[in-house]
Amino acid sequence: MSSSQGQAIFRDVPATVRKEANFGQRVYNSRFDYLYVAPALLVMLIVIAYPVYYTIDLSFFKTPASLSLANKTFTGLDNYVTVLTSAIFWKVTWQTIIWTVLSTLFSFLIGLGAALALHRAFIGRALLRGLLLIPWVVSAVAASYVWKWLYHSDFGVIGALLNQVGLADGPVNLIDNTTTSLYALIVVNVWKEFSFAMIMLMAGLQTVPESLLRAAQVDGASAWQRFWHVTVPQLQGVSTVTILLLVVQNFNSFIIPFIMTGGGPVGSTQIWITHIYELAFLRQNWGVGAAYAVLLFLIMMVLGYFYVRALTRGDDKRAGA
Amino acid sequence: MSNMDGRALRSEASSCRKIMGVSVALVTVASLMSTTVYGQTVDLSQWSPEYVKSIAGTKTFDTAADCGAVVPNDYAGNVSYWYTGPFEADPIISHEQDKAFWDAFHTAYPNIKTDVQSITYNELLDKFRTALLGNSAPMVIRLQILGGVEFAAKGYLNPITPEDYGFTAADFWPGALKSVTYDNTLYGLPTNNETMAFIWNAKVFADAGLDPEKAPATWDDVVAYSKQIKDKLGISGYGLVAKQNAGNTPFRFMPQLWAYGGGALDETAPNPTYAKVEINNEGSRAAVQAAYQMYAVDKSVPISALTNTQAENQAPFIAGQLGMMIAHPSEYAKMLDLASKATGSDKEVADAVVANMRYGLLPTGPDGKRAVVFGGSNIHVVKPEFVDGGAVDEQAVKALICMWDSPEWSTKLNWAGSNPGNINGFLTDAMKERLDTIKFLDVTTSMLPSGIPFPVLPESPEIMNIIVPDMLQNALTGNMTVDQATDDAAQKIESVIAGGGAGI
């Protein structure tokens, strides 16, 4: 047995056994692995770790528009207090929750429906799959402008159609209306995102064992029972990952609200990410914007933890098997 | 003594006076030449479309020689410069003039090396901020009219005087100089200035029973005309723009607010202090009330005003579905472009709209006050410690600014989108050619004397782009009454200028 073969086998030894080798030895044995990931790690440190550190640092300073960042004043946790005690923050938080929950829920459900429909073979299935992918591949900026015109309160196609079929009489005001604007934007977001859920779930459906479904059918299970008791449990893993990714994506969804309404009317479509942008880049209130961003970062970290857990579920078991 | 004798004596006396006069004039010119290259011969008090046409093409300038008096043409050095030059969407003439300038500069100053970057409008500020933090900024930068104040306040820009570059203060619009003066110190020179004008569709006016060739004289007339158009034709009268977080909103609403006697601060005063909040004075309230009247009561403006920028007004206007709007001089070219792209029956409508497009001065307030936002750009010199290499080549910088802001190039470099920042540019042949080829340019330039810059404060973007649109939206949606909305805005502005921010 050559030494390289020996090393390869050593790496395949279960974790519990490897613990017997000391830490330094293990690091030394994996030195080439560390070397290979070093460039990627370095880039991540520069483009991710440093900005995160800088944002956290900035969140403890007051940064008036008349002062350069070099002259910022340390104010401790003041910026966090400002954010958390602001009535606008809580209004925006509530809007962010509505935006995230409804966008995620409907994207997932519509995506699941589309995935189930497209899982069965029928003529034109490939074409339909391609068509349903269009919203996902279209640029969010372009889509936002198109939807803005579709919704247009004076000349929008949606309003014209509703008038034509007799469901409305006169201009249909969806996005220039403080009550309906957020929901109108959620519709656009769901349209844009459901394809993503569809692709993920279609992949998940491929992993549901055909033998289980047949066995259930032989045992007399109805279509609903087969779906509920066989398909859904098998989709649990991919569903968790999909939902987590949708939640993260929606929390950070900037383009649609910013382009379509700019957060208005009267802040009714303002969500965390657009609010942070407004504070930092339009009002140059970098300190408060940074504190706000740190709060968002913490939430993202929690979601990230669950995402990684969902992705690696069973890895340890497999490693120890 | 005969009459002839008397005439001879008078003639002699007259000759003496002439000699004296010429001598005095020569001495004056010589003394002026010692500090300035260009003497002002434009009379701002006479400014009108006719006057602008009458002075164009009356004077020629030898820019290379004039700037040679400021910095010798054989000077050897280097200069770095960032600006927003012409990009793909800009007309060919802008590209040609830009290239012609750099050719002319290198001909006039063959030993000055240039390091030039043309950066898009949206990227320039952020790139400059980043470069300053890394001490790698250019020596010279041209920024949008209020872009410089943030950097002046933070101590990045060099104080300058027009005389350093061969000019005098009289070579620029007073409003333009005000826009680049922070804390009583001049931090740059205006390179180009423009103002918007009032645009209407003469056919819509005629169909609504209005005089098709006459713009509304006052903002109250705009409210009345807008209602009449809506009532008679069922289309929107005035293209109100009130989008949140959008620069378009204050550029179109502040002229109305100023005309009524209002202001965000005291920016309309001859010597503003920016310490007094006027957003909730009687004039400001009257302007917000007028907007409320059009949007919520008469419903004579687009419902989409709350999410509209000017871009969203262009389609209804070219389709004949909008009667009036405020826009840049270039709007006519935009409408021509839209009409050229239209097909079938849309093409007929669009061509008719272009033919019926009229430009006029912005309306006045009840007291005859006319106002418009003073737009444009300024050129700035960065302090050496923030410049790449830690040094600024002062002579090379002077040569560049002298040429860039000369009457000739200040006109040619702003051919399509603006006007010369150096008002002597209005005397050039290039200006005459522009007036002959750009429709309505005489009208739009006539608004310049009414131009008011936004408050020259680093907090101005927040006041104009956030607080003013918020105030409008609060009033238009009925979220607050007009009084509550203006008081709320006043409170926010007070907080901002006190350094406390307007909350979050």
* pLDDT tens, residue by residue, B441-470: 888 888 888 999 999 998 888 899 889 999
Is residue B486 within 8 A of residue B288, CB to CB? The reply is: yes
pLDDT tens for B372-415 read: 999 899 999 999 999 999 999 999 999 999 999 999 999 999 98
Q: How confident is the model at residue B5 (pLDDT cuts 50, 70, 90)?
A: very low
CA distance A182 to chain B (A): 13
Sequence-separated (6 or more) residues with CB below 8 Å from residue B304:
A152, A153, A154, A175, A176, B312
Distance CA B499, CA A62 (A): 10
Tokens of A64: 């008036």
Is residue A256 within 8 A of residue A189, CB to CB? The reply is: yes
DSSP track, B342-369: --HHHHHHHHHHHHTEEEEPPPB-TTS-
Distance CA B372, CA B365 (A): 12
Comparison of pLDDT for A319 and B269, the residue scoring more: B269
One-letter amino acid for residue B219 of the chain = W
Question: Best mutation site among B306, B463, B468 for testing chain A: the one with the most A CBs within 10 Å?
Answer: B306
Q: How confident is the model at residue A116 (pLDDT cuts 50, 70, 90)?
A: very high
Beta bridge partners of B375: B194
Query: Residues A105, A111, A113, A118: what is their CA dihedral angle, to the nearest 10 degrees?
Result: -170
Taking CA–CA distances from A264, the nearest residue in chain B reads: B244
Distance CA B254, CA B265 (A): 11
Query: Is the pLDDT score of B147 beyond 90?
Result: no
B495 touches chain A (CB under 8 A): no
Distance CA A176, CA B451 (A): 31
Is residue B362 within 8 A of residue B370, CB to CB? The reply is: yes
Query: Is the pLDDT score of A6 beyond 50?
Result: no
Q: Which of A276, A239, A265, A273 is nearest to A100 (CA)?
A: A273
B315 touches chain A (CB under 8 A): yes
Q: Could you tell me the pTM of the whole model? A: 0.80
B186 by DSSP, 3-state: which?
Answer: strand
Q: How confident is the model at residue B68 (pLDDT cuts 50, 70, 90)?
A: very high
A131 by DSSP, 3-state: which?
Answer: helix
Q: Say how many CA atoms lie within 13 Å of B97 toward its Cβ.
A: 21
pLDDT of amino acid B134: 86
Bond preceding residue A14 cis, omega within 30 of 0: no
B276 by DSSP, 3-state: which?
Answer: coil
Q: Chain A residues with CB-CB distance to B under 8 A?
A: 64-71, 82-83, 86, 88-89, 148, 152-155, 171, 173, 175-176, 178, 258, 260-267, 275, 278-279, 282-285, 288, 292
B385 touches chain A (CB under 8 A): no
pLDDT of amino acid B233: 97
Tokens of B389: 């290499």
Distance CA A290, CA A276 (A): 8
The phi and psi torsions of B218 (rounded to 5 degrees) equal: -125, 165
B241 touches chain A (CB under 8 A): no
Span A35-56, average pLDDT:
92
Comparison of pLDDT for A316 and A84, the residue scoring more: A84
Taking CA–CA distances from B322, the nearest residue in chain A reads: A154
B420 by DSSP, 3-state: which?
Answer: strand
One-letter amino acid for residue B201 of the chain = N
Query: Is the pLDDT score of B359 beyond 60?
Result: yes
Is residue B197 within 8 A of residue B359, CB to CB? The reply is: yes
Q: Which of B154, B303, B474 sits opposite A153 (nearest CB)?
A: B303
Whose structure tokens read 């960065």? Answer: B382
Is residue B193 within 8 A of residue B453, CB to CB? The reply is: no
- Mean pLDDT score of chain A, rounded to an integer? 88
CA angle B262, B267, B272 (to 5 degrees): 130
Could you give the ipTM of this predicted complex?
Answer: 0.76
- Percent pLDDT > 90 in chain B is 68
Cα separation values, B205 from B216, B232, B356, B443, Å: 10, 10, 10, 19
Kindly list the residues from chain A whose CB atom is less than 8 angstroms away from the CB atom of residue B470.
266-267
pLDDT of amino acid B36: 44
Q: How confident is the model at residue B438 (pLDDT cuts 50, 70, 90)?
A: confident
pLDDT of amino acid B40: 46
Query: Is the pLDDT score of B329 beyond 80?
Result: no
Is residue A204 within 8 A of residue A234, CB to CB? The reply is: yes
Tokens of B274: 């920016």
Tokens of B245: 């977080």
pLDDT of amino acid A316: 61
Contact A266 B470 (CB under 8 A): yes
B306 touches chain A (CB under 8 A): yes
B31 by DSSP, 3-state: which?
Answer: helix
Comparison of pLDDT for A47 and A311, the residue scoring more: A47
Comparison of pLDDT for B86 and A98, the residue scoring more: A98
Query: Could you tell me how far CA A291 lies from the centroid of its own chain?
Result: 21
Give the count of beta carbons closer than 10 Å to the beta carbon of residue B62.
10
Burial letters for B378-409: b for 16+ Cβ neighbours within 10 Å, e otherwise?
bbbbbbeebbeeeebbbbbbbbbbbbbbbbbb
Query: Is the pLDDT score of B325 beyond 80?
Result: yes
Q: Return the sign of the alpha-carbon dihedral for residues B58, B60, B66, B67.
A: positive
The phi and psi torsions of A129 (rounded to 5 degrees) equal: -60, -45
- Percent pLDDT > 70 in chain B is 91
Query: Is the pLDDT score of B213 beyond 80?
Result: yes
Span A121-127, average pLDDT:
90
Domains of chain B, start order: 44-194+375-452 (3.40.190.10), 197-372+459-497 (3.40.190.10)
Kindly list the residues from chain A whose CB atom is less than 8 angstroms away from the CB atom of residue B150.
65, 284
Q: How confident is the model at residue A20 (pLDDT cuts 50, 70, 90)?
A: low
Q: Which of A67, A153, A265 sits opposite B244 (nearest CB)?
A: A265
DSSP track, B386-400: GBTTS---HHHHHHH
Q: How confident is the model at residue B15 (pLDDT cuts 50, 70, 90)?
A: low
- The distance between the two most distant Cα atoms of chain B, rounded to a whole number of Å, is 89
Tokens of A25: 């030895």
CA distance B67 to chain A (A): 35
Contact A264 B150 (CB under 8 A): no
Q: How confident is the model at residue A73 (pLDDT cuts 50, 70, 90)?
A: confident
Kindly list the residues from chain B whose CB atom is less than 8 angstroms away from the CB atom of residue A82.
503-504
Query: Is the pLDDT score of B160 beyond 90?
Result: yes
Contact A66 B153 (CB under 8 A): yes
pLDDT tens for B76-122 read: 999 999 999 988 777 788 899 999 999 999 999 999 999 999 998 77
Query: Is the pLDDT score of B2 beyond 60?
Result: no
Give the count of beta carbons closer than 10 Å to the beta carbon of residue A121.
7
pLDDT of amino acid B355: 95
The phi and psi torsions of B243 (rounded to 5 degrees) equal: -70, 145
Q: How confident is the model at residue B28 (pLDDT cuts 50, 70, 90)?
A: very low
Span A137-143, average pLDDT:
94
DSSP track, A247-272: HHHHHT--HHHHHHTTT-STTTT--H
pLDDT of amino acid B80: 98
B26 touches chain A (CB under 8 A): no
Span B309-320, average pLDDT:
91
pLDDT of amino acid A169: 87
Q: How confident is the model at residue A315 (pLDDT cuts 50, 70, 90)?
A: low
Is residue B324 within 8 A of residue B362, CB to CB? The reply is: no
Query: Is the pLDDT score of B12 beyond 80?
Result: no
Comparison of pLDDT for B44 and B299, the residue scoring more: B299
B344 touches chain A (CB under 8 A): no
Q: How confident is the model at residue B30 (pLDDT cuts 50, 70, 90)?
A: very low
Beta strands in B441-496 (DSSP E): 451-452
Domains of chain A, start order: 86-284 (1.10.3720.10)
Taking CA–CA distances from B459, the nearest residue in chain A reads: A65
pLDDT of amino acid A272: 95
Is residue B351 within 8 A of residue B320, CB to CB? The reply is: no
Q: Which of A261, A254, A260 is nearest to A281 (CA)?
A: A254
User: What is the β-pairing status of strands B112-118 and B322-327?
Assistant: unpaired
A6 by DSSP, 3-state: which?
Answer: helix
DSSP track, B228-239: HHHHHHSSEEE-
Query: Is the pLDDT score of B23 beyond 60?
Result: no
pLDDT tens for A151-207 read: 999 989 999 999 999 998 888 999 999 999 999 999 999 999 999 999 999 999 999
Distance CA A144, CA A156 (A): 14
pLDDT of amino acid B146: 78
Residue A78, burial from CB neighbour count under 10 angstroms (0-12, 13-18, 19+): middle
Query: Is the pLDDT score of B364 beyond 90?
Result: yes
Query: Is the pLDDT score of B206 beyond 80?
Result: yes
pLDDT tens for B214-239 read: 999 999 999 999 999 999 999 999 99
Q: How confident is the model at residue B32 (pLDDT cuts 50, 70, 90)?
A: very low
Kindly list the residues from chain B whose CB atom is less than 8 angstroms away from the CB atom of residue A267.
244, 470
Q: Which of A241, A140, A263, A264 is nearest to A191 (CA)?
A: A140
Span B421-425, average pLDDT:
96
Taking CA–CA distances from A148, the nearest residue in chain B reads: B307
* Stretch (H or E) spanning A276: helix A272-277
Q: How confident is the model at residue B501 (pLDDT cuts 50, 70, 90)?
A: low
B81 by DSSP, 3-state: which?
Answer: strand
Query: Is the pLDDT score of B497 beyond 90?
Result: no
Contact B462 A264 (CB under 8 A): no
Taking CA–CA distances from B479, the nearest residue in chain A reads: A266
B414 touches chain A (CB under 8 A): no
Question: Best mutation site among A75, A175, A266, A271 for testing chain B: the one with the most B CBs within 10 Å?
Answer: A266
Is residue B461 within 8 A of residue B424, CB to CB? The reply is: no
pLDDT of amino acid B333: 81
3-state secondary structure B109-176: CCCEEEEEEECCHHHHHHHHHHHHHCCCECCEEEEECCHHHHHHHCCCECCCCHHHHCCCHHHECHHH
Contact A264 B153 (CB under 8 A): no
B349 touches chain A (CB under 8 A): no
